[in-house]
């Protein structure tokens, strides 16, 4: 059975209920401590970074597919691809990959974060001037603790066949007004391990961001 936006709404309701309860007590140290327990800290960002040459080299080769074609947005309500539940080892590996991504985001270390993405994902989501800036930047300064993203859950990890997998990722980013955000991630298996290849985010009504 295909999973549609009803699942997204349920995830939002379940996770937001807990976060909202803590937010109501935000003047107490407990609320901050509760959220902090879900924040991947910058020190967890240990993946080897993409080199400046690798980042600038991506500018010379187009993403796969038809370069002139605009990406087709997913349908709303969103239906995740059918798959089979991932084994425990794969689910753990993909969860660790997502946690590493947000640790690198909280470290403001894009060369390391982009090492977790496929080349096509990097080209699709980052304009050439951003890649040039990432290639030239020096030692990153971690995001201030109050502005770091919390990773609440990686759910419904499934194998989709052809070396692909998918999962729902529940986070709270400082720049989004929602108490939590739900994303759907697509992964591909490579000779060097799993990488992120695509993602979709949802608003509070289960529509696309």
CATH, range 1-22+79-209: 3.10.450.540
**pLDDT at residue 4, rounded to an integer:** 44
pLDDT at 11 over 70: no
Rounded Cα gap, residues 63 and 175, in angstroms = 29
When mean pLDDT is compared across 79-83, 108-112, 123-127, 196-200, the lowest value belongs to 79-83
3-state secondary structure 23-57: HCCCCCHHHHHHHHCCCCCHHHCCCCCCCHHHHHH
Half-sphere exposure of 202 (CA within 13 A, CB side): 30
pLDDT at 19 over 80: no
- Per the prediction, the chain carries an average pLDDT of 81
- Locate 115 and state its tokens: 């090492």
pLDDT at 18 over 80: no
**pLDDT at residue 204, rounded to an integer:** 65
Do you find a cis peptide bond into 77, omega within 30 degrees of 0?
A: yes
pTM of the model: 0.80
C-alpha dihedral sign at 183, 188, 189, 195: negative
């Amino acid at each position: 059975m295909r999973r549609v936006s009803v699942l997204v709404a349920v995830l939002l309701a379940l996770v937001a209920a807990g976060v909202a309860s803590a937010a109501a007590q935000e003047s107490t140290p407990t609320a901050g401590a509760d959220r902090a327990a879900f924040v991947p800290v910058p020190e967890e960002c240990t993946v080897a970074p993409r080199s400046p040459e690798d980042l600038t080299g991506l500018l010379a080769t187009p993403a796969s597919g038809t370069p002139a074609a605009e990406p087709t947005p997913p349908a709303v309500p969103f239906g995740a691809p059918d798959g089979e539940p991932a084994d425990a080892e794969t689910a753990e590996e993909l969860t660790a990959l997502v946690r590493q991504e947000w640790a690198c985001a909280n470290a403001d270390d894009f060369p390391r974060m982009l090492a977790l993405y496929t080349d096509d994902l990097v080209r699709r989501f980052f304009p050439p001037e951003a890649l040039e800036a990432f290639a030239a930047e020096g030692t990153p300064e971690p995001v201030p603790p109050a502005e770091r993203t919390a990773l609440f859950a990686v759910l419904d990890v499934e194998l989709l066949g052809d070396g692909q997998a998918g999962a729902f990722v529940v986070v709270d980013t400082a720049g989004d007004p929602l108490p939590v955000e739900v994303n759907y991630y697509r992964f591909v298996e490579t000779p060097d391990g799993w990488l992120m290849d695509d993602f979709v985010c949802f608003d509070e009504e289960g529509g696309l961001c």
